[in-house]
Amino acid sequence: MFSTSKIERSFFAPIFDDEEITRRASILNSTIVISLLVTLLFFISAVIGKQGSASARAFGVILFFSLLLCKLLLNTGKIGFFFHSSFQLFYLFV
């Protein structure tokens, strides 16, 4: 079972030995958390309001889980892999 401290810690950026990497991770973390929340809000409003097609809802779910994967990669310290995978996701969806 998750404790409150684990959930709270999952929203914070990881801290690394290098100050520059920690700063970048903090910026990326803020971007990911805000994107997760916005995606979740749009998905919930689409489901409750019964608006949007099934493909739009599926896209929302895929985007949400892709952002969760990016957050996991960021928290494990694989920032190089995170940059590479996030650019691939960006070009895939654009």
What are the pLDDT tens digits along the chain (94 aa)? 555 577 677 778 888 888 887 888 888 888 888 888 888 888 788 778 777 677 777 888 888 888 888 888 888 877 665 565 665 666 565 4
Q: Do the Cβ atoms of 46 and 52 come closer than 8 Å?
A: yes
Report pLDDT for 48. Answer: 80
Question: What's the whole-model pTM score?
Answer: 0.69
Report pLDDT for 89. Answer: 61
Report pLDDT for 63. Answer: 85
State the Cα torsion 24-86-72-66 to the nearest 10°. 140
Count: domains in the chain = 1
Structural domain containing residue 49: 4-93
Can you give the C-alpha Rg of the chain in angstroms? 15
